[in-house]
Structure 1
Amino acid sequence: MLLYAQTPARRNRQILADLIAVLLIAATVKFALTVRGAIMRLAEPGRKVESSGESLAHALAEAGDTASGVPLVGDLLRKPFRSAADAGTGLADAGQSLQDVVSQVATLATFALIILPVAFVLLLWLPLRVRWIRRSATLRDLLDAPGGADLLALRALTGPPGALSTIPTPAGGLADAWRRGDRHVIAALSEIALRRAGLKP
């Protein structure tokens, strides 16, 4: 199975197309990761809020524990500090929730920015490559089959006429020579059909 054409011009075009496809995919992934990094920076306030809330809750809980040691009114003093500590914990939870939301948005945006452009590139590029690989395999199999050169010659006759001018035209024309089974004309025509597909005879 050939992945690339045997003729230099077509092979160079195929390699260039492959390189462009790979570069587009790489650029898409790099761009998506850059966007993800920018979105994740939006989570920084959430981290600060979480850290502040945890520090506040810890400090208030310690103050409440200290206040509980006051004789007679210790339990009464501890309750407001405990309530304030719970509020600090709620603040920390809100900061964590903000980080979670930003992370989910960043992940969805990254997937969308990678999957859609990559799918577009693959839909444009991959079918053409696969079709050429299958067609080249078919033509090579046809050449090896009995009467395959005759069919390739017919393919050349029914294709664009430009390359036919390179064959010396026998009496009666190329089509008549093909019908008569002229081996030289058939070989020249089958070579043209192969070269059009990027293959060497």
Structure 2
Amino acid sequence: MQLYAQTRARRCRQVLADLTALVLVALAVRFALAVHEGIMLLAEPGRKVEDAGGSLASGLGNAGDAASNVPLIGGVLKRPLQSAAEAGQGLSDAGQSMQDVVGRVADLTAFALIVFSVGLVLVLWLPPRVRWIRRSARIRELHEAPGGADLLALRALTGPVKDLASVPVPAGGLADAWRRGDERAIGDLAALALRQAGLRG
């Protein structure tokens, strides 16, 4: 299986296309990760709320424990402090939930950007590469098959006229030479068809 053309110009174009696709994929991944980091900045308020709520709950819990040691009214003092500590813990939990939501949004956004960008690059780059690989394999098989040179010569004759300028023209013209079965003309035309496909005979 021929992955790259044998002619220099086409091979250079193919390598350039492959490198471009690779760079675009790398840039898409980097951009998605940058977007992920940007979205995660939105989790900072959640972290602050979690820290503040945790500190408040801890402080009020300690104050409630200390108040419970006050004779006679310790239990009465502890209850409101305990309720406030629970509210502080709820605030801390809300901050953690906010961070979780932001993290999920950041992950999904980055994943969607990577899938879309990489998919777009693959859709634009992969089909032409696969088509060329298949076509070059068929042309190579045709060239090696009996009578294949005649068919390749016909292909060259029906291709771009400007390419025929590189083929020596026998007396009577190339088409007449092909019809007469002129082996040299057929060989030259078949070689041209291979070059047009990026192959060598």
TM-score of the pair, normalised by structure 1: 0.96
| SS across alignment from 1:108 | helix
CA distance in 2, matches of 1:57, 1:169: 95
Structure 2 residue 102 is matched with structure 1 residue 108 = no
Aligned position for 2:47: 47
Identity %: 65
CA apart distance, 1:73 = 1.8
Q: Which runs of 5+ in 2 are unaligned?
A: none
Structure 1 stretch displaced more, 121-130 or 162-171: 162-171
CA distance in 2, matches of 1:142, 1:170: 25
Q: 1:1-201 counterparts in 2 under 5 A? A: 1-201=1-201
| SS across alignment from 2:116 | helix
CA distance in 2, matches of 1:31, 1:93: 32
CA apart distance, 1:154 = 0.9
CA distance in 2, matches of 1:23, 1:114: 13
Q: Does the CA contact (< 8 Å) of 2:4 and 2:11 recur in 1? A: yes
Provide Cα deviations, 1:83-109, integer angstroms capped at 9, x if missing partner. 000100111011011101111121122
**Size of the alignment, in residue pairs?**
201
| AA at the equivalent of 2:141 | D
CA apart distance, 1:74 = 1.6
CA distance in 2, matches of 1:86, 1:165: 89
CA apart distance, 1:135 = 0.6
| AA at the equivalent of 2:20 | I
Provide Cα deviations, 1:66-124, integer angstroms capped at 9, x if missing partner. 11122222211111011000100111011011101111121122122212122111111
CA distance in 1, matches of 2:15, 2:83: 69
Q: Does the CA contact (< 8 Å) of 2:167 and 2:192 recur in 1? A: no
Q: Which runs of 5+ in 1 are unaligned?
A: none
| SS across alignment from 1:200 | coil
CA distance in 1, matches of 2:122, 2:44: 36
CA distance in 2, matches of 1:178, 1:162: 18
CA apart distance, 1:34 = 1.0
CA apart distance, 1:173 = 2.1
| AA at the equivalent of 2:144 | D
| SS across alignment from 2:146 | coil
Provide Cα deviations, 1:143-198, integer angstroms capped at 9, x if missing partner. 11111111111111111111212223223321221122111111100000000011
CA distance in 1, matches of 2:185, 2:20: 40
CA distance in 1, matches of 2:71, 2:166: 113
TM-score of the pair, normalised by structure 2: 0.96
